[in-house]
Structure 1
Amino acid sequence: MKKILLVTASLLALSATAASAADLAARPYTKAPPPMVAAVYDWTGFYIGINGGWAQAHDNRSVTGLGTVGSFDANGGTVGGQVGYRWQTGGWVFGLEAQGNWADVSGSTGNLVVPGGVVRSKMDAFGLFTGQIGYAWNNVLLYAKGGAAVTDRNYQFLAPGGVLASETGYDTRWSPTVGVGLEFAFAQGWSLGVEYNHIFEDTHDATFVVPGGIGVTGFRTGGDTDMVLGRLNYKFGGPVIARY
């Protein structure tokens, strides 16, 4: 009888062990959670935008044999637009851009040679055609730019009673330009930025026309232009890239 009880207890123990093993095998498999995804902004694509800000254009007017007759800074506002294309490789961003602006950058000073006379100038438009190179930290882009600028300015001498002489029409000139900018993408396709540009206009020979249509030579006028612009761009294509 004792042997029978021992055999029965052994069989019950084996059954319990087998049942436990079966329960363990039946447990469902739990998949590991996916890795975290980081969204990286892609600056590649065409963009269009608007800009506005402040500009200062220097004018150093001189006459051969007399020296400087007036030197001043013309100041004023400007507003315009830009269109361009950028492409990104790694953290580096390259681009091409064309920009056109209306401006009201004017100034004047007293004529050092003609008592009561005035020397004045005004820039009413400019364009920038530049290449860009920059580096992006996700949605923040720092870049430098350089290329050509075209400016439209008018230079005048005023006698005490009115206009004495004016450079023929508006003087449209091409000059080198450089700049630097910082841009921040705040939504899909949208970015805000600030930009500084310098135009190397320097001084140039000028002919002024007095009443009666007589041209008078021997003048030099003009000077460099500096500007600070705020910008808003919208980029087409180039979605945010998801990286693991």
Structure 2
Amino acid sequence: MTRTILLASAASFVLAGGALAADLPSRVEAPAPVFVAQPVFSWTGFYAGVNAGVGFNAGDDRDSVVVVAPNASGVPAGTTIRYGDNSEDASFTGGGFIGYNYQFVNNFVLGAEADLQFVGLGDDDAAAPISVTPVTPGFQPLRRGISGVDWFGTVRLRAGYAFDRTLVYATGGLAYGGGDDARFETAAGNRVFFQDDDDVGFGWTLGAGIDYAMTDNLILGLEGLYVNLDRDVDANGTAGFVGAAAVPAASESNDDNLEFGVVRARLSYKF
């Protein structure tokens, strides 16, 4: 009898424990957090935009014309006439550009860009002669307008490194541009145009900049360029006066370059 009572008590305890466990809330594992990877900005693609800033002269404010052939009035070959420069020291510049970037190896960016710009560094007035070497008795040099640059363009490569939405780059390539008419001018104000210096001159440019992608399409930037344009001149014309007689220069040569810098802000749209 005692054994029966003990077995019945044990069975009742087991059944009671099972019922109590059934009444307890079940334990559910919390779901693992889901992380959504944010897309990384890519600089690859075409873009176009506008820019505006300041241009400033960076070269010597002098211009030399060399008489390379003698003439019957006694002006020897090798005579050098130097003139002052009336071109502006600084000016507004602005224009547009178009380009393409390619991002590779995660952060390196290569690209190409072309732009066309207005810049008011031209010279509309004649400049007075500074010196004539060697000194020629009776020779009075005419005043000559020094050509500046009124517009320019570049075709450049760009190489940079991207810090996500910020791109730091160096750039360089071909530059071209045009300026004012060069001319001789007599003391009485009679102008003798001896050649047109408004033709396109070619040269090179180097610079650097930084771009920041404000959105996936709008990019704000700042860029600086140094531009060097060749303005070699070979022209026939009038070099000056001996007494009252005009002295034609069989040929003149000008090997000075036009040098100027540009700092500009950029706003572009990436397609």
Alignment match, 1:70: 84
Give structure 2 stretches of 5+ with no counterpart: 67-78, 132-139, 239-245
By how many angstroms is 1:18 displaced? 3.6
Alignment match, 1:111: 129
Structure-to-structure mapping, 1:13-24, within 5 angstroms: 13-19=13-19
Q: State yes or no: 1:219 paired with 2:233.
A: no
Does the 8 Å contact 1:60/1:203 carry over to 2?
no
21 and 100 in structure 1: CA distance in 2 versus 1, 3 angstrom threshold:
farther
Structure-to-structure mapping, 1:76-225, within 5 angstroms: 76-89=91-104, 90-107=106-123, 110-113=128-131, 117=143, 119-157=145-183, 158-160=185-187, 161=189, 163-165=191-193, 167-168=195-196, 170-202=198-230, 204-207=232-235, 209=237, 217-220=251-254, 221-225=256-260
Q: Specify the SS of the correspondent of 2:146.
A: strand
For 1:162 and 1:184, locate their aligned partners in 2 and report how far apart those are by CA, in whole Å.
Answer: 54
For 1:76 and 1:163, locate their aligned partners in 2 and report how far apart those are by CA, in whole Å.
Answer: 27
Does the 8 Å contact 2:236/2:252 carry over to 1?
no
TM-score, structure 2 as length reference: 0.72
For 1:60 and 1:208, locate their aligned partners in 2 and report how far apart those are by CA, in whole Å.
Answer: 21
By how many angstroms is 1:87 displaced? 1.1
For 2:112 and 2:23, locate their aligned partners in 1 and report how far apart those are by CA, in whole Å.
Answer: 67
Q: Specify the SS of the correspondent of 2:229.
A: coil
Alignment match, 1:31: 31
Residues 181-201 of structure 1, C-alpha deviation per residue, up to 9 Å, x if partnerless? 111111121111111112222
Give structure 1 stretches of 5+ with no counterpart: 237-244
For 1:116 and 1:23, locate their aligned partners in 2 and report how far apart those are by CA, in whole Å.
Answer: 114
For 2:157 and 2:23, locate their aligned partners in 1 and report how far apart those are by CA, in whole Å.
Answer: 69
Does the 8 Å contact 1:42/1:88 carry over to 2?
yes
Shifted more, 86-95 versus 53-62: the winner is 53-62
The structure carrying a bigger strand percent of its residues is 1
Cα RMSD after superposing both structures = 3.3
Q: Which structure: larger Rg? A: 2
For 1:39 and 1:12, locate their aligned partners in 2 and report how far apart those are by CA, in whole Å.
Answer: 63
For 2:110 and 2:146, locate their aligned partners in 1 and report how far apart those are by CA, in whole Å.
Answer: 40
For 1:168 and 1:215, locate their aligned partners in 2 and report how far apart those are by CA, in whole Å.
Answer: 16
Does the 8 Å contact 1:122/1:155 carry over to 2?
no
